[in-house]
Amino acid sequence: MPPNAQTSTSTTPSSTTTRKPGHDLTNIGPVEKFLIQRTKKGPLCAALIDPEDFSPKQASDTAARAIDAGASLILVGGSTLANQGRLDSVVKAIKGHRQSHQNHARSQVPVILFPGNITGVSRFADAILFSSLLNSTNPYFIVGAQALGSIEVYKSGIESIPMAYLVFGNSSATSFIGQVNGLPTSKPNLAVIYALAAKYLGMRTLYLEAGSGSGEPIPAETIRAVRRIYDGLLIVGGGLTTPEAAKRAAKAGADVLVIGNLLQSFGFEKTLRQITISIRSQSK
């Protein structure tokens, strides 16, 4: 059991609790239900496409190739995105390509927004990770942007998935833009207390982010410590560029592994396929 209010957080909780399969799926949307049901069988791979780095055509082609290589969902977003019209074009291109393959696995893959600001909302997506950057030093990224963007999400009618977002380190564009007090990877207990806060605030999804372009993924020890006390959907991203790194994260307890920068490499499909195969070996 997680520590109660009187328990010191000076040591990592020793419980071996993992995400429980008995989620109440009554009041959640179809995309979140899909993710929960699929991750019961084993970890998933998500391909992250930043509209700043891809034209709509490049984005649709890259998404299709990523799905063919084993990606189970497409995330669209970025920390520096300023053009909402470009976001709409990219999402529509990806979904249009997907819908043209009705008898193909591509048609079953959700397109989910991963916004870095209020410009990250598009009514054409299947769902949005409605996130709060919990370790930002600026209230704007904790609740301000969320309040400003909420009416657009409401009007769009897209499914909203509540998510806590934690960024490690201070050397990435994500940490700079989000003005974060970066969590040190060498102190798992700090990640644990934020994960507990996310849990008690009712955030059903938690994203541990090493930062865009990070050369070092989040250590397995940190993922494992968070997994012990957090029973929601656990997403891990940043620095997962090899099958070995992805397998370590999956084995430590990650439900969804996010692959981003790799998608900009020529012939990325080979490595991505190796990554998806490596995490499937961690099936539950």
Domain extent listing, the chain: 40-280
pLDDT value at residue 156: 93
Q: Which residue has the tokens 């991963």?
A: 114
pLDDT in 10s for each residue of the chain, 284 residues: 333 433 343 444 444 444 444 456 667 999 999 999 999 999 999 999 999 999 999 999 999 999 999 999 999 998 766 678 899 999 999 998 766 655 455 568 999 999 999 999 999 999 999 999 999 999 999 999 999 999 999 999 999 999 999 999 887 778 888 899 999 988 999 999 999 999 999 999 999 999 765 668 999 999 999 999 999 999 999 989 999 999 999 999 999 999 999 999 999 999 999 999 999 877 65
Question: Which residues make beta-bridge pairs with 148?
Answer: none
What is the number of other CB atoms lying within 10 angstroms of the CB of residue 202? 9
pLDDT value at residue 8: 40
CA–CA gap between residue 146 and residue 154 (Å, rounded): 12
Residues with Cβ within 8 Å of residue 122, at least 6 apart in sequence: 76, 84, 87, 88, 91, 113, 156, 158
| Alpha-carbon distances of 217 from 51, 56, 118, 262, rounded to whole Å | 23, 29, 27, 13
CA–CA gap between residue 227 and residue 191 (Å, rounded): 10
Q: Which residue has the tokens 């669209």?
A: 76
Tokens of 86: 């470009």
DSSP single-letter state for residue 267: T
**CATH fold of 40-280, please?**
TIM Barrel (3.20.20)
CA–CA gap between residue 123 and residue 156 (Å, rounded): 5
pTM, entire model:
0.87
Contact 169, 153 (CB under 8 A): no
